[in-house]
Amino acid sequence: MSTAPVEVLGAVDVVLPDGLFIPDIAVVDAAAAAAQDPTHFDAEAVLLVAEIVSPSSSGRRTDRLKPSYYAEAGIEHLWRLELEPVPTLVVCELENGRYVERAVAEAGRTTLIEKPLPVEVDPGALVRQRR
């Protein structure tokens, strides 16, 4: 497991071979964040992308297409936060050019995710509950 310093950023541009993508969250190498424009990164500097699956049908389609582009660019870790039916975090790692599920964190239960940085998460705590 890497112990290199990282920066967790939202709304940044990630340059992939097929164009510019804006993940909901990106974890980048801290040295790259300090050396570059902090809103624009090459895929090589990105350790993890996280996507929050949109509740709209068109947004869901887009959010489900992005992982193949991230995989092609070699981004090693992908997290996908599903909001429905209950908040669930799907943790994936790149293996042989494709993302493979490594863990599924469910709302109401704290799960330890070790890569690319250790974090304990309860997906239910990440989402504001509707009243």
Peptide bond into 118 cis (omega under 30): no
The model's pLDDT over 84-95, given as tens digits with 9 standing for 90+, comes to 889 999 999 999
Provide the 3-class DSSP secondary structure of residue 98: strand
Any idea what DSSP says for residue 115? S
Does the pTM of the predicted model rise above 0.85? no
The answer to which of 17-26, 77-86, 116-125 has the lowest mean pLDDT is 17-26
Strands 25-29 and 6-10: antiparallel
- Half-sphere exposure at residue 59, Cβ-oriented, CA atoms within 13 angstroms: 10
Question: What integer pLDDT is reported at residue 4 of this predicted model?
Answer: 59
Question: What integer pLDDT is reported at residue 58 of this predicted model?
Answer: 61
Question: What integer pLDDT is reported at residue 54 of this predicted model?
Answer: 76
Q: Quickly list DSSP for 29-45.
A: EHHHHHHS-TTEEEGGG
